Amino acid sequence: MAVTLNHTIVHARDRRESAEFLAHILGLAVGAPTGPFLPVTVANGVTLDFATTPEGPIAGQHYAFLISEEEFDAAFARLRATGNPYWADPHQTRPGEINHNDGGRGVYFLDPAGHYLEMLTRPYGG
């Protein structure tokens, strides 16, 4: 059997707030709660299981989403409508810009829990 990623747990102060934020930006649905998790499933079947972590620090993680040019247009418009800051680079030195790496487009932004999200239209090195 080929190895595939099935799911990952995404810690958040409020699982619903973070799951709904990501789902809204990417045009996805939030699934029904499964125990302590609130799932958002992407097109290749990988589920991000959001879990509320009420105490202690949340270590920010990086999640990158490969999307089509059309999906980028729609998602980027939704991101801008939220008023959240965004950057063209992972070091946040190019605020309010997108990048054109590998002939595509990409942007970085933070979710409500402080995770560093990325949308890109071309895989790196592609």
pLDDT value at residue 56 = 87
pLDDT for 89: 97
Quick check: pTM over 0.85? yes
Taking 70 as the pLDDT cut, the residues of the chain under it are 126
The per-residue pLDDT for 35 is: 96
Segments making up each domain of the chain, as ranges = 7-53+60-120
Measured distance CA(45)–CA(50) in Å, rounded: 15
Q: Class of 7-53+60-120 per CATH? A: alpha beta
Which secondary structure element, helix H or strand E, spans residue 117, and what is its range?
A: strand 116-120
How high is the pLDDT of residue 1?
A: 79
- C-beta of residue 67 within 8 angstroms of C-beta of residue 87: no
